[in-house]
Every structure is written in C-alpha cells, then in structure tokens.
Structure 1
Amino acid sequence: MVYTCFNVDISNNIAHITLSRPDKRNSMITEFWNELPEIIQDIDRNARARVIVISSSGPHFTSGLDVSSFSQTEITDPAARMTARLRAGADFYGFVKNMQDSFSCLENCRIPVLAAIQGGCIGGGVDLITACDIRYATQDAFITVFETNIGMTADVGTFPRITKLIADGVARELVYTGRRMLAEEAQKVGLFNQVFEDHTAMMAGVMSVAQEIASKAPLAVMGCKRMMNYSRDHTVSDSLDYIAIWNAGMLQREEISEAMTANAEKRPGNFVDLPPIKNVIG
C-alpha cells in the first residue's frame, strides 16, 4: 500500500511507521488524518506486528497541523453565508472528533506504540506523541504546544493526556506559555524515556526496545497496556478488580510455562500471536 504521508515497514514482528514528507516538515495534511488510523487499525486488526514504532524523516518530527490545507473558500452570497455559519459549529465538532480519533487509535490498539522524536515536535505533534505508550528523542528535539501562540486552544488530545504524563503545574506552564520544552527538560519531567545523541543512535535504541517487547508473550503485553490505560483513568479499587477479572478470563498457563522454560533455556519464547479482530457479520 502506498501512502501520501507515511512509509510502513513490517519485519521481525515490529511495524515501523515513518512520517515521509520531510520537505514539508511532515505537516499534517488531510491525508494524514485518514491514513494514520487506517495503518494502525490494519496492523492491529490483522495482528501484523507485536510493536509499533513511529518515527520521522528530515530535520523535524512534525510541524503539526497544516492549517492551509483546511482553508475554506470565501462565501459572498449572504444567505449562503448564514447557512454556513449555522452549520459551522456542528461541522467543526465533527472535524475535530475525526482528528481526535486519528490519535486515539494509538492508545486504543492492542499493542504498544513507541515514538521516536527528532527536531521539532510542534502543535499536533504533541497530541500524537502523548497518545503513544513510550517516547524517545534526540538531543536536538523539542516540543511546543504551539496552538496557544496562534490564539487557539489545543483540541486533538494534548490536554487530557499530558497531565497524566508530567506534573500538572509543569503541563500548565507549558500550555499557557506555548514555550519550547527541550529534550533534556522533557526527559527530566518524565515525558521522554531517553534522549540520544542523534537520529541514528535513537533509532538503534528504540528498535532494541521494540525487539525486547516483541520477544514477550503478546497476550501478556496486551494485558499490560490494557491495565495501564485502565488504571490511569480509574480508581485503585476498580483497577484491582479489573485485573483480577482480566486474568480470570485471559490468563494462559501454557504461555507462562513457555516463558519460564525459554528463560531457563536462554532461548526466545515460542508464543502465540494475538488473533486477528474479526468483523461482525450481520
């Protein structure tokens, strides 16, 4: 499959998705919002990989939303202008919900998603990486909730997620000011797991982590992601109950036995892949 905004490579149980418009600073045009969920859902629904890595090409990870690609033609007819104005709120709501869903698919898919960030991660880029499971960066990387600087309130996912990742006061300063947070600071506050010298070193390190994750029992990793997300959004009591119910239905003793035997024999485990997600017939 050929995409406008991405290159996709799947090998050794790792799906590597690369933003592929470096000449445009990997800005998020209309095709971006349609292609990303299509790619993620295909990988997840058809169990094509055990881990997803999202990286980018060129000097910057992404410049965020390409506002020019969504510009509208000026309406001169008064009646038509009134109709457009009345529809604008509902149209905009649906438009934003579609973009939100494009990033929520990263959080909702069954397998871990790792982000590898170089250079600028601006505006919508912050929405994207906060929906991922783990974030890595190069020394020259930075993030900025740039929407504040152009009179907007970020609406695609940064606010509900970033305060679950870093201290509330730090997040508030970041979004109120629209300032740049450099990679070193982002690592200190816990947003980035690790900072690498350059893109080559980062990709080697991220792929090593991805390979480690891919070597584990997929069902166990899926359960970990599900429990981490659930626990983030629920009480301790509810989360403890949910993990007990989850394991009562999902725990596979054969996988546990294979993992223990493989560790003892110092060999890769022979685990069952996640099943494809079947479409409902009817």
Structure 2
Amino acid sequence: MSETRDWQCFEIATDDHGIAHITLNRPEKRNAMIRAFWDELPEAIRMLDKSGEVRVIVISSTGPHFTAGIDLTGFADMTGNLGAGESDIHREANRGLDFYAMAKRMQDAFTALESARVPVVAAIQGGCIGGGVDMVSACDMRFCTEDAYFTVYEINIGMTADVGTFPRLLNLLPEGIVRELSYTGRKMGAEEAARYGLANKVYTDHAAMMDGVMEMAREIATKAPMAVHGIKNIITHARDHKTAETLDYIALWNASMLKQSEVMTAMMAKQSGEPGKFAPLPPLKKVSGEEE
C-alpha cells in the first residue's frame, strides 16, 4: 500500500499479520512536525484503514527523541503571508481566520488516529514534546522506554495547546496533573506517566519496547476484526457520553454490526488453538464529493 506514495515524514510497512508500521524518519530534525506532516499523517492513516486488510497501526520513531513537536518555522509559514496594502483591521481578521483554518487542519490530522477503525499504538522513546503529546493522546495505547518523557511545551513559547492536548489528556490523567503539566511545561517521565496511566508499560530500551509492542499488535491481529472495531468505537463513545446513552448505542451497534460468522470463527479458533481465519474489515467506500 505504501509503495504508491513517496512519504516525506514517514516510512510505512505492513506485514503478513496485518500490522502497519508508521515510522517517523527525520531523526536529524528530532522528528519535528513540518508542514508536510499535517497532510501526510491523516492521508497515511486513512489509506491504511481504507482497504480493511490492516488490523493494527503502530507508530514509532527514529533517533533519540520520538518527536520535538511542531516545527516552529513551518508553523510561522502556515499562518500565511499578509498582503501588502491591507488595512490593519483586514490584516488582523485574515490572520485570525488563517490561524483558525490551520488549527482545524492540524486537529484533523490527529483526529484521524482516533477515527481509524483499528487500534493505533504509539511507541515512544526520548522526548514526546508539544504536538507529540497531542498525537499520542489520540492513540489507543502508549508504550515507552525508560528515557521517555512528555511535556506540554506550548506554555514555554507563550501559547495555549490547541491541537488536542486538553480534551484528550483530561481523559487519560487526573485534572490536577494536566493543569500542573500545562501551566509549568515540566517534563513527566516514563515511570510517572505509567503510574498515572498515560503509558501502558515502560521498557528498558527501544528494541525491547518494539519487541513488546509488536508482540501485542500480533495478538490483537488474531482477534475478530469487526469486534475490535466495535470495541474501539464503543470505548471512545463511552468516554464522551453518559452511561445510558452508551448502553443504548452498544445495543444498536451489535444489533446491526455483530457478525455471526466472526463469533463462530472465534469460538472454533479458541477450541482448536489455531488462529481464526477472519474476513477483513469491509473496504471504506468513497463518499460523494470526497477526494481520493
């Protein structure tokens, strides 16, 4: 699937288990999120999700740091160049509209992780800074090396984080901790992140982390794809809705989506000890007016 596209910010590979591995590949720039990143990430996620063949997406990185966050040079460029001769009022209005459109575009890039039908797993080493926190908080799970740390860095450059940190981080950490991290910009180390539940597990080094993450991804890939899709969908819905609403939603989901063939295949696999031969997720169909 990745052969049809030259990626500037990533390397993408899929294996026979249905695991897609997205690797941030700009270690010399600490994997900073340049302008192309905001187009490539959602495109890559939607491409992988579209076929239905992928069961799990793993996002990892290269070099000493997971990501330094938003590339500030590209960030300044994305706010747009103001036209000569514009009045101060028009200039300020255009700046605000340009910034709003840019923020929505960046938010959409990370919402694609949350909206994917399959689990998205982040494997984090070194610094996960600024926009990196936004990205991994939109993933289903986060695994770390011992040297990993998280920092809501925006306060240090006079900004309020706006790409997803607060609405998602508040679902992963106690409110007081989120406020402390955000007001101070301090680093939260891997062990502290695991203690509060932001990180699922901490590994000694990158190789051990990737072995553990891929082993878990292969385990998920053996499960019924529609059931995994349903679980991700319902957990996200439950997070954002009241219990009674989610109970009704899951009843409707299973009434319309539960596949008897998947249940039978899963039961047979359990009895035989052999991997179940499940049908892939149905390919996503193009919506009218949607670009390829």
TM-score by length of 2: 0.93
**Match for residue 256 of structure 2?**
249
C-alpha separation between the residues in 2 aligned to 1:261 and 1:79? 70
**Match for residue 56 of structure 2?**
51
C-alpha separation between the residues in 2 aligned to 1:71 and 1:167? 33
Contact preservation (8 Å) 1:28, 1:65: yes
RMSD: 1.5
**Match for residue 4 of structure 1?**
8
Matched, 1:138 2:145: yes
C-alpha separation between the residues in 1 aligned to 2:219 and 2:189? 28
C-alpha separation between the residues in 2 aligned to 1:172 and 1:87? 32
Deviations 1:38-73 (A, max 9, x none): 000001112241100000000000000001123358
**Match for residue 96 of structure 1?**
103
Deviations 1:98-144 (A, max 9, x none): 00000000000100000000000000000000000000000000000
**Match for residue 261 of structure 1?**
268
Deviations 1:226-270 (A, max 9, x none): 000000000000011111111111111221111111111110011
**Match for residue 93 of structure 2?**
86
C-alpha separation between the residues in 1 aligned to 2:75 and 2:124? 26
Return 5+ residue gaps in structure 1 as ranges. none
Contact preservation (8 Å) 1:75, 1:81: no
1:84 Cα deviation after fit: 2.7
> Counterparts in 2 of 1:1-282, with a 5 A limit?
1-11=5-15, 12-72=17-77, 77-79=84-86, 82-281=89-288
Matching residue's letter, 2:45? I
Matching residue's letter, 1:253? Q
Return 5+ residue gaps in structure 2 as ranges. none
Matching residue's letter, 2:134? D
Which stretch of the first structure deviates more once superposed, 267-276 or 65-74? 65-74
Contact preservation (8 Å) 2:11, 2:25: yes
3-state secondary structure, aligned to 2:213: helix
Contact preservation (8 Å) 2:53, 2:281: no
1:281 Cα deviation after fit: 4.9
3-state secondary structure, aligned to 1:3: coil
Matching residue's letter, 1:69? G
1:77 Cα deviation after fit: 4.4
TM-score by length of 1: 0.96
3-state secondary structure, aligned to 2:36: helix
1:86 Cα deviation after fit: 2.2
1:85 Cα deviation after fit: 2.1
Q: How many residues align?
A: 282
Contact preservation (8 Å) 2:222, 2:275: yes
Deviations 1:11-33 (A, max 9, x none): 12000000000000000000000
Flag the 1:257–1:74 CA change in 2: closer, same or farther, 3 A: closer
Contact preservation (8 Å) 2:53, 2:280: no
